[in-house]
Amino acid sequence: MFLSKIFVYVLYILACTALGIVLLYARMIDAIPDTGTQAALLVFALLCFALAAKNIWLLVMVILRHGRFEQSAKKDHPDGK
C-alpha cells in the first residue's frame, strides 16, 4: 500500500510537470498567436507546476508519516523489532 501511494504521487508529479513544460513550450514557440490565449497557457502551466509542487509536499508527508509509524511500532513492541 505504501509503495503504491508513492508510485501514484510520482506519476502525478511527472504528469503535471510534463504538461506544464508542454504548455510553456507551446507559448514560447508562438504556436498560438493570440495574446490572451498565450496568457492563458502561461497561467495553466503555472497551475500545473503548482500542482506538482503540492504533490511533492504530499509525497514527503506520506514518507515522513510512514517513518513515524515504523518507529512507534518498534517502540511499542516488547522485543523492539
HEC states along the chain?
A: CHHHHHHHHHHHHHHHHHHHHHHHHHHHCCCCCCHHHHHHHHHHHHHHHHHHHHHHHHHHHHHHHHHHHHHHHHHHCCCCC
Q: Kindly report the pTM of this predicted structure.
A: 0.73
Q: What is the per-residue pLDDT across 50-71, written as a single tens digit (0 to 9) for each?
A: 999 999 999 999 888 887 766 6
Question: What's the pLDDT at 7?
Answer: 92
Q: What is the per-residue pLDDT across 4-63, written as a single tens digit (0 to 9) for each?
A: 888 999 999 999 999 999 988 988 887 778 888 888 889 999 999 999 999 999 999 988
